[in-house]
Structure 1
Amino acid sequence: MQLFVKLLLAHLLGDFMLQPTKWVIHKEANKGTSIYLYLHVLIHFVLYMLILWDLEKWGIALILAISHLIIDMAKLYANPLFKNKGIPFFIDQVLHLMAIYICVYYSNLYGHTMALFTELDWPLVLAIVFVTSPSAIIMGKLLEGMSNQINTDHKSLPNAGKYIGIIERLFVLTFIIIGRWEAIGLLITAKSVFRFNDLKESNSRKLTEYILIGTLVSFGLAIIAGILYVHYNP
């Protein structure tokens, strides 16, 4: 595990802290002919060696550097195929993590992977999944009749409300699991402050009631999930 953490640290340093925006732009424009692509990979190799601090493990550093080059190059050529540039970015990061994982646990890759799944806290996974999209859909069904009565004359980001709800429920679930119920009150207060101007400008009692009911339902679903998890996993 310590080896994985060290290599992951090197990856984060190389990909996010030691890669100027200028390099990223040059790589996207010139792809495989960009000198910064190879300099970026070289920095990763040096970081791997420095953090490992063991010349006998140069092979791991070399394999990871080569895999980094292949993955980054594939991303540069695949980028134009995606409208949402976040998709290739996250695929790229997942592949880098997989490469590090394989290099660290190659001697018992299957056994270690199966052990991870066996020891996974499945009730926690269930709780996390429940408070994301399933809860959003449940809320949509519960509030469908009310939402039809609300006139929204202001523009907002696509699905912003959905994502805000998911994030707030994840926070509530986390606070319950770690036993910090008071933090939920702070979260409600913070949301109320941010919503105050919208409600003040709209001057609509229906909108105020709709937002209040939606907030309580959202928090309620997360609280139920958290209580059930804590109850069955004391």
Structure 2
Amino acid sequence: MLANFWGFADFYLHNPILVLVLLAHVLSDFQLQSQRMADLKVKRLPFLILHLGLVCLPLLVLSLIFPSNFLFFFLVWLSHVAIDFLKFHSNAFVQRRNLEKYAFLLDQILHFLAIFLLYFLLANQKNPQWLQGAASVLQALLFFALIGKPVNIIFKLFFSKYQAREDNQDTIAGAGAMIGRLERLIMGLSLIFGQYASIGLVFTAKSIARYNKISESQSFAEYYLIGSLFSLISVLVCYGLLYF
């Protein structure tokens, strides 16, 4: 099977401490960070310091639970500090060149590379029995964290240009992002429990709710289709990286 060939699922199940650090990063860099904080931390130093303090909190908790990995957790935080300060000092150049989307991707790639590299070089990979037993739960939490807010941000950065101005009328602020998170949550649960037919029900429900607007506006129909396909692709990619 392809799952056995790739071995991603077994890798994460046997390295729950790595999954915990990845989860801590996703939570602190996305779920626990507002858009205002994300915008201001690259412009004003106090907001950057506040953000780095929030990044430190889950790693500090992990250090108390797993003291043998204190150096690993500390260096992960230190790498986050270095990467964010690099982004802070290059922000003027990024804005002049209109490179925000690429700076975001590079920032996240560097964070993940640092975590993996430090884990293999420094981490104590011996896991207590209770943690090994919770590995599948941690794997699922990381999966749902990845397909939540991070996907919304990537979609907004790369695909908002396809949204026509009139498509914003008669909508509640933030409703589209919440619908996207919920549809990916349902798709993720459907994949984990093997209920693949349920994925089709998500798009059916969305299409019924938006039928009038889809039929009346070609631009909205195209933007709706782009968003739906991107949601599906993002869930499948994350599922493949964590469960195959």
TM-score, structure 2 as length reference: 0.45
Larger RCO: Structure 1 or Structure 2 (Cα < 8 Å, ≥ 6 residues apart)? 2
TM-score, structure 1 as length reference: 0.47
